[in-house]
Structure 1
Amino acid sequence: MAGARAVRVTSGGDPAGDLYERIGDFLRDQRLSPDPANYAFAHHLFTTPGGPLARAVHALTDGGVRLTQRDIETLGCELRSADQEAPAKQAQGLVAQTQMHVEGFADIVTAMRAETAGFGRDLAASAAAMRSAGASDTNSTTIEEVARITGSMLERVRSAESQLESATREATELREKLEEARDNARRDPLTDLPNRRAFEEAFAAQMGKGEVCVAVCDVDFFKSVNDRFGHAVGDRVLKAIGEALTQACAGHLVARYGGEEFAVLFTGCDLGKAQATLDAARASVAIKRYRLRESDAPLGEITFSAGLTDLREDERYQTAFHRADRLLYAAKTAGRNCLHVG
């Protein structure tokens, strides 16, 4: 059965070759074209045989049923959504590690304080004994005891310094990883643009600091692109739109807000200038003629619609964004490939 063959495990002397053959067999059995998206799907299937994708494929193909291209695209979308959660989970893990390091520092400092207090008590006791015996009666035993206490304390201090140095080095490395993870958690993995979280944080930081405008942009008829050409092509279209917006709106924040929706935060310019900039971006996208990389076949016209507004005095982020979103909807209703301002 196709489902059984999809999860078979081979044993040979060449693991890479075995994997390649299994992927080829799978694509042939399912009558799928060997394009990059399907190959990547099969590669993930066989390299994580106990994962959720393998279980989903087994359920769909049980009884000899073949996967359709739509099944591949749907399951692939679920995989991409799961992958997008990875940066946030990584950041959470690093935060936990940071907390452990902070607690480790506290333990080292507490131990050093206890050692220092003990050292002080021992020295005080020795000094009291020397005073009570009188300077002339101070014997070598008392001096040896002071030397022993001092030597022991020095050894403990060196050990603590070594622990602190190691902990400091690990904390520095962890801080760098945490900064990287935080950046990844605020960045869209497909387009490498800031994501919704980063956009909302930047918007909040700009409130009360001068002129601010916000735009919401949405790719027109994007679902039909995915339906006709697949999600791999749809992803490339999203990246192209993101690059076009970034270039046209240089100096302002462009983010992928979610799905086929982008947001632009204009700072330090009035509504008229923001409108001219965004409309130029819309026009530059509309005149391009996109083609399939594999066959050079045309995709047809790719356009986006947008709503643009400015942030009014004492206005909250949600109010301004929702107004821009309503203007976007009006642009869609008006025929798409246009910009509405309000």
Structure 2
Amino acid sequence: MCTKESAYRRAEKVYKAYADGRNEATLLHDVLDFKSPSVHVSRIIEQPRPACAQWLHAAAIFSVRGAPGFRFIRGALSADRQLEVAYAALTEWCEADNESNLNAHGRTRSLWAEHLSNPKSSLLTKLSWLTLGHHYQWTERTYDPARVSPFPPQLAVLASELAQACGETMVAEAAIINFYSARSTMGGHKDDAEPCQAAPIISISIGLPAIFLLGGHTKDEPPIALLVRSGDVVVQAGESRGYYHGVPRILSASPPRELLDACSSSNMVGVAEWLQTHRLNANVRQVFERDERREVHPHNAVCTSERSNLASDRLESGARSHDHHASTHSIVTDAKLYPHKRPRLGAESPGQ
């Protein structure tokens, strides 16, 4: 008996076709582009910006008709800030006591340094995801309060201020960092494992642009295709917090050259080059309701007195002194490194 194909699945197949890049220009014809909102005036609405952090004053915030609570912050992160986040992910977050698809190898130290020395044989080419803070349990689709590591305070402040710019509040307790090659995809899924569904999900895009599909409560609802570029931020709040979403296509023909021009130190050169052929996505969420939070790791909480200082600081990763001159034009592959039932990019897993 034939199973009816969902509207979401049909859209995924359209954008996955010819993944070698031959039809990128044609694909973008029906994709909402927030750099040209006047072209899509019937679908895109620019929103007034509430009181927000000074570094966000130049960003434009949009909503999409038919997606209550959804916000798109165009160019939210400057090139410098993008490099700082990517540097932290590649050199610190994957080195610390966080969980990733590489845990099965028993060694995740010095990944970036080894990658710079020998990109083709580096284990970094196998890295697809890592988790911060409360670690998501892929098989059980739950969060175990006992499995938690320190959450980077700089990322917590960044996510909180992005939420505030959209009139939302959140306490950053968990994040999934996804590492995409030019041919990676993320299947349509809902982020519904968190007990707290009232706080938004903050999704930061850095590196290659991508097509982001925003569906509805079921896959039978036709999704909206959006173009996300390096530095853009997607905020799923309100009703849209429970919508299906995913990334069926990375657009390799339009690398973010501005990141190469923004390198202010040798530390960032390799990172900027890596981002010419990869996409990094950091999606941050609050896990527990305020009265449900129990035994939160002390490093996960960012106290109020720290926020004003941290908000104006550069991510500490940018101040590290490693010398990263080597080229990093290797390709991340979706290798079968996951424990049983853990999803790869391309499966229905949390994050964007």
TM-score calculated relative to the size of structure 1: 0.21
Higher relative contact order (CA 8 A, sep 6+): 2
Greater Rg by CA: 1
Which is richer in helix? 1
TM-score, length of structure 2 as denominator length: 0.21
More strand by share: 2
